[in-house]
Amino acid sequence: MPMETIGQDYIEVEAYLSEMLKALDRHGLGPDNLCFVDDFPNAPNAVSRVGKIEKKITFRRRITKEDKALAIEALKEKFASDVKALDDDWAFVKHSLLHKVCGIIYRYQNDYECIKWAFYQLRF
């Protein structure tokens, strides 16, 4: 697994590709379900997106530390005791991936339940 670079202003998401593919495989998904983009023009702070019907998870190639902080801050209200685990960059990427995986495999589950499921799955 890639080592985090101290002082780096962003997370290089594709550096975790091997681990991401293993996590997808555990849930019956694969490389065709994952893609990377430079940004999301209509959602500049988004780190990832999911197309539930297309079964496609899209990540920004680079996630700024500011966008990571914004994403964690948004989770704190309902998941205050869990967000500390997301300080680690790989855990943050993995949680976002698992959150989107939940949206695919449990398509009608609400966002809250998928976030909660992703926190639980981080343990494995």
Per-residue pLDDT of the chain (124 residues; tens, 9 = 90+): 665 555 689 999 999 999 999 999 999 999 999 999 999 999 999 999 999 999 999 999 999 999 999 999 999 999 999 999 999 999 999 999 999 999 999 999 999 999 999 999 999 8
What span, in angstroms and rounded, lies between the C-alpha atoms of 95 and 104? 14
pLDDT of residue 7: 62
The answer to whether residue 103 is domain-embedded is: yes
What span, in angstroms and rounded, lies between the C-alpha atoms of 46 and 60? 8
The answer to whether residue 5 is domain-embedded is: no
The answer to whether residue 4 is domain-embedded is: no
pLDDT of residue 87: 96
Residue type, 24: L
Helices (H), the chain: 17-26, 65-79, 89-105, 111-121
pLDDT of residue 97: 98
- Count of domains observed in the chain: 1
